[in-house]
Amino acid sequence: MLTDLVVGLLSAHPAFAGFMTVVGFARVVNKPLFAMIQAVVDNTKTPADDKWWDEMQKHKAMKSLFWVLDWTASVKMPKSKK
């Protein structure tokens, strides 16, 4: 019954179905990607990558990207452990 309702709504509103597909794809790709980057940065011994990643996160474009991802797909970016 619920499946029929969901399929009916998505069939009636294909733009919404497309939006949900984009949101789901952004969440599936970006959250693990940024978590993996943060894990690599946290677990390396050299401080050069820590500095580079901190600078990247403080850049205005990256802050904007993180905000858009958080607002549209609820993708919370991982925080540094250091």
How does pLDDT run across 20-33, given as a tens digit for each residue? 888 888 888 888 88
The answer to whether position 82 is within a domain reads no
Range of the domain at 46: 2-73
The answer to whether position 78 is within a domain reads no
For residue range 61-74, what is the model confidence (pLDDT) as tens digits?
A: 988 988 888 887 77
Tell me the whole-structure pTM to 2 decimals.
0.65
In this model, does residue 75 exceed pLDDT 80? no
* pLDDT on residue 61: 92
The answer to whether position 67 is within a domain reads yes
Alpha carbons 37 and 45: distance in angstroms, whole number: 14
* pLDDT on residue 82: 57
* Domains identified in the chain, total number: 1
Residues ≥6 apart with Cβ < 8 Å to 34:
75, 77, 78
